[in-house]
Structure 1
Amino acid sequence: MTSSNNEQVQSFLDDIIVSDPDKSDIIEKLRKVVFQTDSNINERMMYGGIMLSLERDFGGIFAYKNHVSFEFSFGASLDDPSNILEGGGKFRRHIKIHGLADIEAKKVASFVKQALELSINS
């Protein structure tokens, strides 16, 4: 398990590993994807999940009853030719992750990279 510099995030990670090990594995893999994209990303707890930012929020990881969701603050602006992103709001989009294989199959790393670039360049 990768530890967090944020006490609240670490507490959340410690709790979920006990309460739902499968979701914990998914969250850890998503965090790994995020920090492989840029090791300077900040994490904080907000809205019951882990918000991710550099200069501003670009996304977040949220655990729900039947899945983990990676939410993108400006997901409507991301390039998504395979229509993987879900949601119909003005800005936000998300990807539902039901298992570890979904992380690669749904191209999470590509979306994280796009979201980070969008966050920095706008």
Structure 2
Amino acid sequence: MKAADRIEQLVEDICGPILHEIVQGVRQIVMRTGPSATEIVKYGGIMFQAKQPFCGVYAYRENVSLEFGHGHQFKDAHGVLEGSGKFRRHIKMEPPVMRSCTQGSFRDDDYD
């Protein structure tokens, strides 16, 4: 099975219609922001990588989590990042959060 087919199958398997829309929206935003990024199925979700993995999207029962392995480096001017670990930060996404993301809340210049 090709990687693209595995990703589509994963999304279909883990998501109901509302979460499916959020996952697909996140995928579009990431690929539009970093067009050279590729997707791989890993850790039960979709990891995005350029030279190395930089974020992942994971669907849970009631939300979708966009996770950043080095999220501690973000400025987070909008205060949407959650997590208190040494490096990782995440955003729990539901339809209202998704709309704010599509309006340009996250850009490449969000890194320190």
Match of 1:51 among 47, 60, 66: 47
Q: Which residue of 1 aligns with 2:98?
A: 103
Q: Give a deviation string over 1:24-72, Cα, whole Å, max 9, x none.
A: 0001111110111122211111110000100011000000111000001
What is the CA RMSD across the aligned residues, in angstroms?
Answer: 2.5
Unaligned runs of 5+ in 1: none
1:22 counterpart = 2:14: no
Unaligned runs of 5+ in 2: none
How far does residue 109 in structure 1 lie from its aligned partner after superposition?
A: 5.2
Q: 1:30 to 1:109 in 2, by over 3 A?
A: farther
Identical residues among aligned pairs (%): 32
Q: Which residue of 2 aligns with 1:8?
A: 6
TM-score w.r.t. the length of structure 1 is 0.77
Secondary structure of the corresponding residue to residue 92 of structure 2: strand
Match of 1:91 among 87, 90, 93: 87
Give the total of aligned pairs.
111
Secondary structure of the corresponding residue to residue 67 of structure 2: strand
Q: Which residue of 2 aligns with 1:38?
A: 34
> 1:71, 1:112 → 2: CA distance?
15
Structure 1 moving runs of 4+ over 3 Å:
106-112
Secondary structure of the corresponding residue to residue 27 of structure 1: helix
> 2:48, 2:16 → 1: CA distance?
22
Q: 1:105 to 1:61 in 2, by over 3 A?
A: same
> 1:42, 1:109 → 2: CA distance?
21
How far does residue 84 in structure 1 lie from its aligned partner after superposition?
A: 1.2
How far does residue 114 in structure 1 lie from its aligned partner after superposition?
A: 4.7
